[in-house]
Structure 1
Amino acid sequence: MSLDAFAKFPARLPKGLTFFKVAIPQNEIDDMIKLLKLSKLPPETYETSMESRQYGVTRDWMIDAKKKWESFDWRKTEDMINSFPNFTLDIADQSGPHQIHFAALISQKPDAVPVVLLHGWPGNFLEFLPMLNLLRKKYTPETLPYHVIVPSLPGYAFSSPPPLDRDFRIEDVARIFDKLMKDLGFGNGYLVQGGDVGSKVARVMAAEHDSCKGVHVNFCIMPEPKDVSGELTKPEQVGLKRTEEFMKLGSSYALQHATKPGTLSFVLTSNPLSLLAWIAEKFLAWTDEDPPLNTILESVTLYWLTETLPTSLYPYRQLYTPGNVGAHEDPKWHITKPFGFSWFPKELAPIPRSWAATTGDLVFYRQHDSGGHFAALERPSVLLQDIEEFVAQVWKA
């Protein structure tokens, strides 16, 4: 089946929409490998020798990852990305002009449901490509029940960075993505799914934009709500212990992102090995099973070659700086539209169903016995089934 078969939009194409093909200049790849080979590993310490990884990635893991990264074939990742339709769209917004990158599968079915899938940090649009692959194997363009849009958040991957002359917030991303969907011809309504930062953006899209008709998330970190009732299941009790452990021992990175992103920008772009350690730690700690090393290297390489680590940190100023109100605590972002939640046990903060229900009109809930923070990567068929069931339940209603 040709690539163009899933790339025909039902409406007239908006001005500023162009096909996009990933093609990183070879000299940039060569420079990355050269820097990687010159980067030093630290001497072994008590902390870096802990196989439990309680103090972070181990030296042995980094030795192996460094060696394999030095011979990593980025062109294979490019070919995989380019096997899907990719686009950029110029969007005029009150925060300034933006160019938003997105991958997509566009249906030729007249009643196809527009669905936008939103990633977070240290994720990126690559997280959802396994799900897109499942969809294009299962359906033809004529039978695909959805128009699936997978954008890169502003400042991530191939989307333009946030503005230099002003603060940039979740509300800005939500407004830009709502306009993205409208400009693509889906202004009559769409559904949104998100994890991590994407779940925060999804909430604001639902609360502030009429075109968004419902929200499904697989991430719902929040403090314990007042007056919540009902007994917790055994998995939920275990999940809260994991949440407590994360808040005590695993969330320091977020405070650093929020309070010292400038310093981190220099530290993490000084050499590829630093970036690998910082990102890999999260992929290893927040998943049910260690992801394949190649999967981690794809994402880290994407961050390095697009130079987007510094421009990807802005959500944390809003979400984790002490005194700021998060996307759950603010009543104006309570979801009054159909709300779905998929619970995975090795999520970094798996909160109970009763807690999630205080943040919106929870009409769909599914508890799984495996999977973690990167559900779209770890359990693509499972998450896709939840999304399809959520769409079937809420769209016609």
Structure 2
Amino acid sequence: MAAQPYTISVSDDVLEDLRHRLMHVRWPDEIPGAEWDYGSNLDYIKELVAYWRDGFDWRTAEAGLNAFANFYTTIEGQGIHFIHEKGKGPNPMPIIVTHGWPGSIYEMHKIIPLLTDPASHGGDPADSFDVVVPSMPGYGFSAQTRERGMNTRRIAELWDKLMADELGYSRYAAQGGDWGAGVTARLGFHHSDHVLGIHTTSVTQAIPYQGASLQGLSMRERLEQVIGTPQGGYRRDFAATLSDEELEMIDQRVSWAAAEGGYAHIQGTKPQTLAYGLNDSPVGLCAWIVEKYRTWSDCNGDVESVYTKDDLLTTVMIYWVTQTINSSTRLYYENGRTLWYFGPEDRIDVPCAIAVFPKELSTPPRSWAERTYNVQRWTEMDSGGHFAALEKPAELVSDMREFFRDLR
């Protein structure tokens, strides 16, 4: 199916149903003085929901998304929505930018004009890009996934077909964070014949070669032979070869998983059970998502020091109106069953750039990235967190421009 122009248009019935639900919330209790210790703070969620009900205007947000050139296509049976904005410059470089969870195409709305039209934002028109921003399968305005196995490798295959076959870009660049970083790494590894280079804000995939594979080990064997989480840890004999910086990173990842990783465990094991609550309750969905934006951003506990209420609610709304919270969280289940372990000769050989934001979930040293990536640029940012395109758009775009300039 050839890509067709697409207009985001949520029915009035969906919005009226949402308003009814927001007017009839059954609120939970909370320990006095709990703040955010137990999860999303009750007073803040009540304040946010009151604005959602009485002040937030979805039609304004919808118009903002429709200001971009939206398209819809079907690739190998999977419906894919994407933004495709052409660059304004002498020779725009094609680039596909992939979001993660709980992100969406909205996460990229600030960087798209900076990438397509640098001259209008104080940059050099020679740095312009043709920008493609898809909604991942099962996310946002793409179709819900209907079959098992939609993991980052499968998404990368769809993206390559979108870029090379559908849009005719025989050579293109790729960028992403969170799951989008995994998809981007997969593009660089499996589709190097088309990919010029990759830029990511995370290097949690792939897992470096460690000697004998961890695949197929029983849980007891993993506990005996692995440091880190049994689902994604590292062999003890491999760990003995790591630098102090790399061991510190593993300690940080283990501590983070214990303190913050509960969401990933349930989404990776029983996403269907979780979905009954999140797909039915807009307040539950809001609390589930907003807590991540607060925890994963460089905001010192004040989420609105970085994002507006409209930013947060537009993100939540994209999941709500499309009913894709269930299909989005299934990616954790699918990826958890197909962990990406490198073999002894495996490496992402295309040129790679890594932008490390200090409040990212994991901040590895360069030496760790170089085990699996052909690192040509390594930038340690002064501030910023997990949702870099939304939180630090100018800094992210500047790093992308500088890296890809030599690959044009």
- Band of TM-score, shorter chain: 0.7 to 0.9
Aligned residue for 1:314, secondary structure, equals helix
Alignment-derived partner of residue 291 in structure 2: 281
Shift of 1:280: 0.8
Aligned residue for 1:121, secondary structure, equals coil
Alignment-derived partner of residue 136 in structure 2: 153
Selected match of 1:302 from 282, 304, 318: 318
Kindly indicate whether residue 189 of structure 2 is the aligned counterpart of residue 207 of structure 1: yes
Alignment-derived partner of residue 36 in structure 1: 22
Q: Is the 8 A contact 2:80 2:142 kept in 1?
A: yes
Q: Deviations over 1:45-95 (max 9, x none)?
A: 25xx423x232111111111111111211011011111111111222x2xx
Aligned residue for 1:150, secondary structure, equals strand
Q: Deviations over 1:277-333 (max 9, x none)?
A: 11111111000012222211110011000111011122211333xxx4533656686
Which structure 2 residue ranges, 5 or more long, are not aligned? 208-232
Selected match of 2:107 from 127, 146, 155: 127
Shift of 1:111: 2.9
Alignment-derived partner of residue 218 in structure 2: none
Shift of 1:180: 0.2
Alignment-derived partner of residue 81 in structure 2: 101
CA 1:57 to 1:333, structure 2 compared with 1: closer, same or farther past 3 Å?
Answer: farther
Q: Distance in 2 between the 1:319 and 1:203 partners? A: 14
> Percent identity among equivalent residues?
31
CA 1:142 to 1:343, structure 2 compared with 1: closer, same or farther past 3 Å?
Answer: closer
Kindly indicate whether residue 387 of structure 2 is the aligned counterpart of residue 351 of structure 1: no
Aligned residue for 1:43, secondary structure, equals coil
| TM-score (normalizing by structure 2) | 0.83
Aligned residue for 1:313, secondary structure, equals helix
CA 1:54 to 1:89, structure 2 compared with 1: closer, same or farther past 3 Å?
Answer: same
Aligned residue for 2:401, secondary structure, equals helix
Alignment-derived partner of residue 292 in structure 1: 308
Aligned residue for 1:339, secondary structure, equals strand
Q: Is the 8 A contact 1:99 1:160 kept in 2?
A: yes
CA 1:158 to 1:325, structure 2 compared with 1: closer, same or farther past 3 Å?
Answer: closer
Shift of 1:17: 1.5
CA 1:333 to 1:69, structure 2 compared with 1: closer, same or farther past 3 Å?
Answer: farther
One-letter code of the match for 1:200?
G
Selected match of 1:189 from 162, 171, 176: 171
Q: Distance in 2 between the 1:173 and 1:331 partners? A: 25
Q: Counterparts of 1:244-393 in structure 2 under 5 Å?
A: 244-289=254-299, 290=303, 291-320=307-336, 324-327=337-340, 329=342, 334-393=347-406
Aligned residue for 1:215, secondary structure, equals strand
| TM-score (normalizing by structure 1) | 0.85
Q: Distance in 2 between the 1:278 and 1:371 partners? A: 21
Q: Is the 8 A contact 2:86 2:116 kept in 1?
A: no
Q: Is the 8 A contact 1:102 1:151 kept in 2?
A: yes
Q: Deviations over 1:140-178 (max 9, x none)?
A: 7986621111111011111112224x4322221111110
Q: Is the 8 A contact 1:18 1:89 kept in 2?
A: yes
Q: Deviations over 1:106-148 (max 9, x none)?
A: 1365632111100000001111110113345634798662111
* Stretches of 4+ aligned residues off by more than 4 angstroms: 140-144, 222-233, 239-242, 328-333
Q: Distance in 1 between the 2:23 and 2:151 partners? A: 37
Shift of 1:387: 0.8
Q: Deviations over 1:322-373 (max 9, x none)?
A: xx45336566863111111100110112222211111211111100110000
One-letter code of the match for 1:296?
L
Q: Distance in 2 between the 1:283 and 1:329 partners? A: 31
Aligned residue for 1:153, secondary structure, equals coil
Selected match of 2:157 from 175, 185, 191: 175
Kindly indicate whether residue 67 of structure 2 is the aligned counterpart of residue 83 of structure 1: yes
Q: Is the 8 A contact 1:170 1:200 kept in 2?
A: yes
Q: Is the 8 A contact 1:200 1:327 kept in 2?
A: no
Shift of 1:258: 0.9
Kindly indicate whether residue 31 of structure 2 is the aligned counterpart of residue 45 of structure 1: yes
Aligned residue for 2:109, secondary structure, equals helix
